[in-house]
Structure 1
Amino acid sequence: MRATFTRYLSRHPGAVIGLVLLGLQVIAILFAPWLTSYSPVEADPLASLEPPSLAHWFGTDVSGMDIYARVIYATRINLLISLTAVAVAFVIGVPVGLLIGFYRGGLSSLVMRVFDFIQSFPIFVLGMALVSVMGQEIWNVSIVLAVLFIPMFARVIRAEVLSLRERPFVAAARCSGATDFSIMFRHILPNALTPAIVQISISVGLAILLTAGLSFVGAGVRMPTPEWGLMVSSGAQQMILGVWWVSLFPGLAIVIAVLSFALIGDMAKDLSDPTTRDRR
């Protein structure tokens, strides 16, 4: 397995870039207090809108807060919200998709209609509505994103289960006396997880964009919480005045985070598919 992984990385520089970018985010999360000497929430009106310099590497915002410190600390907030939401959606959506794919009937149809109702709304608009109802707190944003992502994981697993449940190995397991629980979790689920694993990285990237977007329009976390979308929003009004650094650096952080998970998702897809892995 290690040899396969190493060979894959040697042939795919994009995967290496994704891992490096992810590593930078992990470093920012773990060592944020040692990477900057400024507080991410402490304002200094005398240092308002200072351009990038040796004192403030990324400059300061309108309140005088150090943008570099806020970008570093925002990595914790954005990834905490995104990873928590996706983890909850995965833990709930996978078993639900497995059950409604294996047992077809009225209850399965009802669950699918609920998913249809949730996904009939534009995901961003529904996210704004739910956050507005629940309150603009970090955990509330995570819960809202989890609710939006559960149907995605459930549908992905259900589609795989509908195909796998008719395979000969399932009939053989049933003939050997295996229970439905054993067939679902020992025989079908391991073969159906590959698309869901790929969906994790895609959903994390989407969650980062949604978190930043909600904060940008004022429906996400509130000031002075360091969050990339909130920082882009606070600097957008100064862009026309030539104050580019307030929005540029948190915007680049969003790009790096989403790109890293997109590249890792592509790598996970290749490595989890034996036919693709062996060919590449």
Structure 2
Amino acid sequence: MTRLPASMRRHLGAAAAIGLLLLVLQIVAIVFAPAIAPYSPVDADPLNSLQPPSTAHWFGTDVSGMDIFSRVVFATRINLLISIVAVAGAFAIGVPIGLVIGFYKNPLSSLVMRAFDFIQSFPVFVLGMALVSVLGQEVWNVAIVLAVLFIPMFARLIRAEVLSLRERPFISAARCSGATDLSIMFRHILPNALTPVIVQVSISIGMAILLTAGLSFIGAGVRMPTPEWGLMVSTGAQLMILGVWWVALFPGLAIVFSVLCFALLGDYARAVTDPSAETIS
């Protein structure tokens, strides 16, 4: 086994720098949205409907006359809020469940795994649409639905690590020293099992952004006039055939750059935290 060449490490570093820059831009948009956006993101102006990009409206206006640049900036808050809350909730619930069902081998653990199998047997969009229809098309409801979809993924990932670690010699040594099951799980196993889960967090945020936009695109996410990237793309897609390209283009690019940001950061986190990622055969 040999380490990756220096050129590859520089490539990973450059990709991480791009991801970090994109993340900083999103944070700036979230914190300073009212100062950055020149117009209200929800106030319609029918007299300025479908104006192309100009000095007055940098990204143009949509069919209701709302400024697209302002809506893209404010939508950063909505999309990242939903995604981060969903992934954080899935992490907080899925990790303890995965830790317990991986540490204890009993019928209850098998039952929980079968429940996860049932959840993951549904197509993501179909299950997401069904749950949002039941809970209602609100921002927090979409975050809850995405958390439910991500919990089995985090639980399975941590369970696989726990199954590998629970038979290691250092766990046997902890048992011999009189450590309780709770102490072994949270002091010895969990810190060593979190590395792949932490990497998955970054990737999952990107997935959540795509799912949030996808649900809104098909009408199962947040509702108008809430500024949300997928909803804006959906509105603009119907106008593309008429040559009105700017309504869908700019929110679509926002989705691309946001997902790219977390994908690049996730790749870098994997390379830093996983020793095997730094080597090649």
Report the TM-score when normalising by structure 2.
0.94
Q: CA deviation at 1:91?
A: 0.3
Distance 1:57 1:206 in 2: 29
In percent, how many aligned pairs have the same letter?
76
Other-structure match for 1:115: 116
Q: 4+ residue stretches of structure 1 with deviation over 6 A? A: none
Distance of aligned partners of 1:23 and 1:9 in 2 relative to their CA distance in 1, 3 Å threshold: farther
Distance of aligned partners of 1:37 and 1:86 in 2 relative to their CA distance in 1, 3 Å threshold: same
Distance of aligned partners of 1:11 and 1:161 in 2 relative to their CA distance in 1, 3 Å threshold: closer
Matched ranges for 1:162-241 at <5 A:
162-241=163-242
Contact 2:87 2:204 in 1 (8 A): yes
Q: Structure 1: which 5+ residue stretches go unaligned?
A: 1-7
Distance 1:115 1:54 in 2: 52
Distance 2:97 2:272 in 1: 26
Q: CA deviation at 1:275?
A: 5.2
Other-structure match for 1:264: 265
- Whether 2:2 is the aligned partner of 1:32: answer no
Q: Structure 2: which 5+ residue stretches go unaligned?
A: 1-8
Other-structure match for 2:23: 22
Other-structure match for 1:146: 147
Secondary structure of 1:223's partner?
Answer: coil
Distance 2:159 2:203 in 1: 18
Other-structure match for 1:3: none
> AA paired with 1:144?
V
Contact 2:12 2:268 in 1 (8 A): no
Distance 2:157 2:244 in 1: 44
Contact 1:9 1:15 in 2 (8 A): no
> AA paired with 1:97?
G
> AA paired with 1:180?
D
Q: CA deviation at 1:269?
A: 1.2
Contact 1:22 1:257 in 2 (8 A): yes
Contact 1:9 1:16 in 2 (8 A): no
Paired residues, number: 272
Q: CA deviation at 1:273?
A: 2.3
Matched ranges for 1:88-127 at <5 A:
88-127=89-128
Distance 1:134 1:11 in 2: 41
Distance 1:102 1:233 in 2: 45
Distance 2:45 2:103 in 1: 59
Secondary structure of 2:79's partner?
Answer: helix
Matched ranges for 1:125-140 at <5 A:
125-140=126-141
Matched ranges for 1:57-76 at <5 A:
57-76=58-77
- Whether 2:87 is the aligned partner of 1:86: answer yes
Other-structure match for 2:4: none
Q: Deviations over 1:33-76 (max 9, x none)?
A: 11122000011000000000000000000000000000000000
Q: CA deviation at 1:125?
A: 0.9
Contact 1:131 1:141 in 2 (8 A): yes
Distance 2:100 2:59 in 1: 50
Secondary structure of 1:12's partner?
Answer: helix
Other-structure match for 1:12: 13
Q: Deviations over 1:206-238 (max 9, x none)?
A: 110010011011110000000000000011111
Other-structure match for 1:44: 45
Secondary structure of 1:65's partner?
Answer: coil
Q: CA deviation at 1:267?
A: 1.2
Q: Deviations over 1:166-195 (max 9, x none)?
A: 111100110111110111011101110011
Q: CA deviation at 1:274?
A: 4.1
Contact 1:202 1:262 in 2 (8 A): yes
Secondary structure of 1:49's partner?
Answer: coil
> AA paired with 1:207?
A
Q: CA deviation at 1:272?
A: 1.6
